[in-house]
Chains A and B, each alone.
Chain A
Amino acid sequence: MSEFMSEFMLQPHLAYNWMVVAYFFLGGLSAGAYLFSVVANHWAPTFRPLAKNAAILAPISLALGMFILWLDLGILSRGLLMGIHFNPTSLLSWGSIFLGLFMLVALANAFSCWQGGEGCRSRTGRLAIVGVPCALAVAMYTGILLNRAPGVVLWHSTLLPILFLNGGLISGIATTILLSLGNQQKELLAKLGRFVVILVALELVMTFVEVIILAGGGVKAAEASRALLTGQFSGLFWGAQILAGAVVPAVILAAGKSSGGLQALASILLLIGVYVMRHIIVIGGQLIG
């Protein structure tokens, strides 16, 4: 009988499930791609040929992320309530405003880059005045949102928003590399790959600083760091996030080989690494506390 009844019970479940992880991943990816397109268009002319792909990637991945987030809502038809009601202390309220603004800017930016031509640079430049702050907000607000949970040590870190932004840049650029593989710009991609290595190194440094601080930060924090280093999440942490998701692709990209296959492999591994990092933070935070 208990088995029968258990079907009707609300199973204990996570507040933030894989859908939220996927949204965090795609939102960060979108912001990273947009930021890269702006940088490539205006400050790093070497990478200008790649700006168009990045600019088009941004709104598409954001739309996909927002779609997944919408599916995660308890009542789908109420998604628009977020636009009507506003709670100034809620990071989610602010996030939804920045998401909406960023979506518009990313679309306009993608359209400009798609058209190309003379006015493209000045138009994207003007859009960037609104777009860059919005992209930064979209990439980082999720990290601040997690910081608002008082009981979860894994989420209590000033580094979290920065880690999320850095991961967004890595995944945005990695996806841009993937999309640009067919364009016969192998040398350019190899050059961009070496730049990504710097971001990956930063990510590794921040991750370990975070873990070291956790390990010395009281009973619960030490428990969380053990779960990452030797416990429940150690396989994902060492295997997927650190080794496969950061070290291996960094080594491949640092070698600077212009082989399309290797570049594709490294990019995919980087995406896996960034996704797993978000998974460990979001799901792990709820499970280990």
Chain B
Amino acid sequence: MTTPGATEQNLPEQKTCSRRLFLKAGGVSTGLAVVPGALAASAATDASKGKRLAMVIDLQRCTGCGGCILTCKNENNVQLGVAWSNKISRTVGTFPNVRYDYIPTLCNHCANAPCVKSCPTGAMHKGHGDITKHTPKKCVGCKTCKAVCPYDVIHPNAVEPHRFWRDKRALMAGGTSSGQEVAAQVNSDVIPYYNPAKEDMGKGAGLRYKGIAEKCTFCDHRTTKGELPYCVEGCPANARIFGDLNDPNSDVSKLLSRYRSWRLKEELGTEPKVFYIRDFNAGANKAKKGSA
């Protein structure tokens, strides 16, 4: 483990060849993933260029398992207490007439994003595919993006990220090892707040420091290579459909023309690009003439 003060300058070069990327390289046609230091996000190979990427979440397929939350944490190395992929769950009504609602949430990558408009340095900006992106190197940590975001999906790091892996105390006293011991055993060259999934995105995107904001990126490190975001990949119910709104033949376009869709807080005019179709509780009521 390197010290907490480590910066992008003293990151080991071999980070680019993480095991996961090596595995991925087998399935990806571009050879870029195995070239250390190469920026797959360069415009020439960017599969999301010229697209308007959006997600449709089919609530009737969704089982509310929370798999998207876990896969997102897995893919993006999201730290404790933060969930880029999150959910709204609530019970409505009074017993015995109750209904359970489950709405998976993530950054809406608004077409008219308040965070982008109010970022003083342009660290929060619109990237290829109309994705709302964040450049950690430009972020000053003013937290205005969090203040103006109506969806509460932007998380400024209040404390040093991934502190657990530097802590000497045992998880359970006398029972388990400490985070620091585990990190030492793994013998990783990767600093604890380093986000290996982002290494292709350049501009310090693999790093998260104390103080800067972070948020869901629609897995831009995957979409630029033409892959699906990992929450889409990991959804066991196939409830997440991802694609290009500009393409009338894409699955998202077809679903949005077939079903009535809604978005979170549409009335605010932020033009979210995460759409919800159908009903989590579909079929809960048996049809009967003249009564509920």
Docked complex Cα distance between A10 and B114 (Å)? 23
Min Cβ gap A287→B in Å is 12
- In the complex, chain A residues whose CB is within 8 Å of the CB of B211: 73-75
Knowing A81-B121, A149-B114, the reply to whether A92 touches B142 (Cβ < 8 A) is yes
For A53-93 the 0/1 string (1 means CB < 8 A from B) is 00000000000000000001111001101101111011111
Knowing A8-B163, A90-B120, A148-B114, say if A79 contacts B140 (CB, 8 Å).
yes
Could you say which residues of chain B place their CB within 8 Å of the CB of A286?
A: 147
Q: What B residues does A72 contact at CB under 8 A?
A: 142-143
Chain B: minimal CB distance from A1 (Å): 6
Whether A74 contacts B141 in the complex (CB less than 8 A), given A10-B82, A150-B269, A150-B270, comes out as yes
| Contact A75 B167, beta carbon cutoff 8 Å | no
With contacts A73-B140, A73-B142, A75-B212 known, is A149 near B117, CB below 8 A?
A: no
Q: Indicate if A129 sits at the interface (CB-CB under 8 A).
A: no
Contact in complex: B120, A92 (CB < 8 Å): yes
Highest count of chain B CB atoms <10 Å: which of A10, A84, A89: A10
Given A74-B139, A150-B148; A89-B117 close (CB under 8 Å): yes
In the assembled complex, which residues on chain B have CB atoms less than 8 Å from the CB atom of A152?
150
Question: Is B159 positioned at the interface, with any CB of A under 8 Å from its CB?
Answer: yes
Scoring B residues 161 to 172 as 1 if CB is less than 8 Å from chain A, else 0, what string do you get? 101100101011
Smallest CB separation, B6 vs chain A (Å) = 14
In the complex, the answer to whether B158 meets A149 with C-beta atoms within 8 Å is no
A15 touches B139 (CB 8 A): no
Question: Hey, which chain A residues are within 8 Å of B202, CB to CB?
Answer: none
**Measured CA separation A96–B156 after assembly (Å):** 21
B150 touches A151 (CB 8 A): yes
Which residue from B121, B148, B159, B213 sits with its C-beta under 8 Å from A85? B121
The reply to whether A82 and B150 form a contact with Cβ atoms under 8 Å apart is no
Chain B, residue nearest A151 (CB): B150
A222 close to chain B: CB less than 8 A = no
From 41 to 80 in chain B, residues with beta carbon under 8 angstroms from any chain A beta carbon are 79-80
- Chain A nearest Cβ from B127, distance in angstroms: 15
Tell me if B261 is interfacial: C-beta within 8 Å of chain A: no
CA distance A149 to B161 in the complex (A): 27
Residues of B with C-beta under 8 A to A81: 121, 138, 140
> Which residues of chain B are near A11, meaning CB under 8 Å?
81, 158
Let me know if B210 is at the binding interface, CB within 8 A: yes
CA distance A41 to B186 in the complex (A): 70
Q: How far is the CA of A93 from the CA of B209 in the complex (A)?
A: 23
Q: Which of B118, B159, B270 has the most CB of A within 10 A?
A: B118
Chain A residues with CB below 8 A from B119, complex form: 87, 90, 92
Determine if B121 and A150 form an interchain contact, defined as CB atoms under 8 angstroms apart: no
* Binary per-residue interface labels of chain A (215-228) against chain B in the complex, 1 for a CB within 8 Å, 0 otherwise: 00000000000000
- Asked if A195 lies at the interface with its beta carbon under 8 angstroms from chain B, I say no
**Which residues in chain B, 112-165, are within 8 Å of chain A measured between CB atoms?**
114, 117-123, 138-144, 146-151, 155-159, 161, 163-164
Contacts of A9 in B (CB 8 A): 80-81
Residue A4 is within 8 A (CB to CB) of chain B in the complex? yes
Q: A10-B161, A16-B143, A90-B144 are in contact. List 5 more A-B contacts (CB 8 A).
A: A1-B171, A8-B81, A74-B211, A75-B139, A90-B117
B residues near A (Cβ < 8 Å) are 79-82, 114, 117-123, 138-144, 146-151, 155-159, 161, 163-164, 167, 169, 171-172, 209-213, 265, 268-270
Q: Give 14 pairs: A residue, B residue, CB < 8 Å, sorted on A.
A: A10-B82, A13-B158, A74-B141, A74-B210, A75-B139, A82-B121, A84-B121, A87-B122, A89-B117, A90-B119, A92-B144, A93-B120, A149-B150, A150-B265
